[in-house]
Structure 1
Amino acid sequence: MPEFFPYWVVVTHFLNLFFLLLLFRSGIEVLSAFPKLYWRDDCPPGREWLRFSKKTFAADSRTPWTSLDEEESWSPVVALPGRKNLGLGRHWHFMTVQFWILTGAVYVTLVFATGYWHYLVPTHWSLVPDSIRAVGTYLHFEIPAKIPGEPFEPAQKLSYFVVIFVLAPLQIATGAAMSPAVLARFPWYGKIFGGKQGARSLHFLVMCAFGVFVVVHVSLVVVHGVPSEFAAIVLGDPEGDRRLAVGIGVAGLLAIAVLHVVITWFSLRYRRRTQRLLGVVVNPFERLLSRRLVSRQDLRRSEVSAYFRVNGHPPASEEYLESAAAGFEDYRLDVGGLVERPVSLSLDDLRALGAQRQITKHNCIQGWTAVAEWAGVPLARVMDEVAPQASARHVVFHAMDDKGLTGSEGRTGFYYGTIPIQLASDPQTILALEMNGEPLPLRHGAPVRLRVETQLGFKMVKWITAIEFVADVDDIGMGMGGWREDQQFYASAAGI
């Protein structure tokens, strides 16, 4: 049998505390963008089972609203980084989760390699009633006896098993079930949790369970005696120098607190630098998901959502409004850049390239989902018409949306988005002209919008006026790969 508290337990215990706190705070930032929880993927307004906002919106509201109006600005004291920074919150969350999973993988490997699993894994059902009796002992303000030959009493052992081998894997599994790329490629996977919103709700509840465990765990450290518990946790020796253990333990906790303060300050003060630094870790994983997984969605018509939120308002320019009033008869889609045959296509020209229909799930970066039937021309057919050059590696979609007129919070510039050219040829990447059997509504991107079903909604540019094939995106906008990447520090790949 191994020693009770080997040093690898000490190290992974500390790292787990640090990473979990980062995950909690960045997860709260992500939640603030859509502070509502549903069990159904159509997310009907007013039917959430839990919300953290006083704002209320109705599907039949006379006052136009968008999902951006539902966003909350939470304090940096609890959210990382706070103050409506969804892009940076996601960066911190997805950077941290990789190291948290790595730490857990190392821990579990050593648990079984060293025989430490005997202290964590129940080998008999009697541990359950023994744990209940141990809890009763605590409620009588007494400390239950440890299991003979082991470092923990029954309730501790059972709770550690649940946290390590049930809650942690469930948190990872539900996190994966919120990825648009994973859901598009493996539609059956999301159904295990009742859909993305079911996974999102379970993910939140497991986070709460982790929080309860931490509170109880810390309380028991106090009950059992801080000096002796710190000696075991920090030095790996319950009989070690208790003053030294308390000193090192308190210093470690203060270091974590200071690091969180510095991280939060840096993220809010140097948002572009934070985006770039965290992107070194996050972006490769995002790109891998985006480029390797191809959408295979084929949802039923009965799954189409009765209400489909929008993110942002239609273009407000006189030119757009006049063209919309005329049924977009004068509309032209200019396709150029690094192509052999630049073209300018009318809506009739686009329809002549062939139609494709698909019922798919829309995943907004804020967290809401909705299902609709889309009809339009596969982007691959447009590429056949223009013949992109070998040097073309990205596709840029320019929109009619001038954010100086429709945006908020001082952001300006015409909206644009980019995707790698590999995504342009995916079978379910289309230029949508219809929605649910009707011409595309203005609020949903008329006359033409992009659908890339493995990506988050902000990549699916609405109100498209031009498509450009380029070698690199560095000279487009601020060079980050899209308007929201430029202005709101989102990741350029959006498969998570």
Structure 2
Amino acid sequence: MAVFGARYFFTTEMGTDFLNRYSGHMPLPDNAPVGIPAWMNWQHFFNMFFIVLIIRSGLQIRYERKPAAYFTPKKSSAKISLTLWFHLVLDLLWVINGAIFIVLLFVTGHWMRIVPTSWEVFPHALSAGLQYLTLDWPTENGWANYNALQLLTYFLTVFVAAPLAIVSGFRMSHFWSKKWTKASKFYPAPVARKIHYPVMIYLVIFIIVHVVLVLATGALRNLNHMYAAQGDVDPTVYANNWTGFFIFLGSLVVLAAAWIAARPMLLAPVARLFGKVTAR
């Protein structure tokens, strides 16, 4: 019914006028960069690699009843499960990768592609959303300009969801000192838990929708943008180039191998370099 409702809306005079006024694409500032550089390809891969393993290990922690092993740091007596240690290591690497991404984003000017610069982004995002809902999806070319709905979603993910995941995760970790009594009263752990899990759900939904749309709105062209730094303002260019697909396929092999390798038997030797691993 939603699909038919959206289709009907665009057949009305109001819907036609709305679409003519708000196409779904916000014009970028004149000095906005065009294209996706190679450093962003690498950032995208590492972000995917870390976040998938973070979600995996996070769910393991949530439902783990009897940890297979425990980890104790060299300079501390605080004992945590090996799964939690792995989760925290991944968190740290993800944060470092994110910090590098933010710095490069602002140094190169690419922030203009995912940060709203006008309030008109909201009606444009509504227009793009309705166009998706009709299943007659708008022509996309992320190489030149994301549509307004993509822009808002990327902004929400990078500048809202990711920081919330970090601050809530930090509050629940053993890095949060028990000596910070005033801060603990102001920001209690139960509040952090109520933030952390919903943010994880949001990221899972984002990943699923993101992957579906990447593959459904011009898979080869989109994968060339995201993995091979190849593209053009003309969306037909690189539309039949398979370079990005094969790089993407290789990244999936690496991710699958890491997923399989993330077991106590293989994690324990690495963890012993930083502390003590015991069965209890």
TM-score, normalization: structure 1?
A: 0.44
1:184 is matched with: 178
Count residues with an aligned counterpart.
232
2:209 is matched with: 216
Mapped contact 1:32–1:72 kept (Cα < 8 A): no
Mapped contact 1:130–1:155 kept (Cα < 8 A): yes
Bigger Cα Rg: 1
2:35 is equivalent to residue 4 of structure 1 = yes
1:252, distance to aligned residue in structure 2 (A): 1.6
Letter in 2 for 1:144: P
Higher relative contact order (CA 8 A, sep 6+): 2
Letter in 2 for 1:137: Q
Mapped contact 2:125–2:149 kept (Cα < 8 A): yes
2:196 is equivalent to residue 203 of structure 1 = yes
1:38-93 alpha-carbon deviations (Å, 9 max, x no partner): xxxxxxxxxxxxxxxxxxxxxxxxxxxxxxxxx3789xxxxxxxxxxx71211210
Distance 1:234 1:149, change over 3 A: closer
2:256 is matched with: 257
1:13 is matched with: 44
1:237, distance to aligned residue in structure 2 (A): 1.5
1:486 is matched with: 278
Equivalents in 2 of 1:204, 1:278: separation in Å?
26
2:92 is equivalent to residue 98 of structure 1 = yes
Give identity over the alignment, percent: 26
SS at match of 1:141: coil
Gaps of 5+ in 2: 1-31, 69-79, 232-236
SS at match of 1:184: coil
1:132 to 126, 133, 143: 126
The correspondence of residues 43-442 of structure 1 with structure 2, limited to 5 A, is 71=65, 87-144=81-138, 150-180=144-174, 182=176, 184-193=178-187, 195-238=188-231, 239-240=237-238, 242-261=241-260, 263-264=261-262, 267-270=263-266, 274-278=267-271, 280=273
Letter in 1 for 2:132: Y
Mapped contact 1:91–1:275 kept (Cα < 8 A): no
Equivalents in 2 of 1:204, 1:7: separation in Å?
32
Q: Which has the higher helix share?
A: 2
Equivalents in 2 of 1:279, 1:102: separation in Å?
23
Distance 1:258 1:486, change over 3 A: closer
2:23 is equivalent to residue 23 of structure 1 = no
Distance 1:280 1:168, change over 3 A: farther
Mapped contact 2:36–2:226 kept (Cα < 8 A): yes
1:28, distance to aligned residue in structure 2 (A): 1.1
Q: Which has the higher strand share?
A: 1
1:486, distance to aligned residue in structure 2 (A): 2.5
Distance 1:148 1:218, change over 3 A: closer
Mapped contact 1:134–1:155 kept (Cα < 8 A): yes
Gaps of 5+ in 1: 34-70, 75-85, 284-479, 489-496
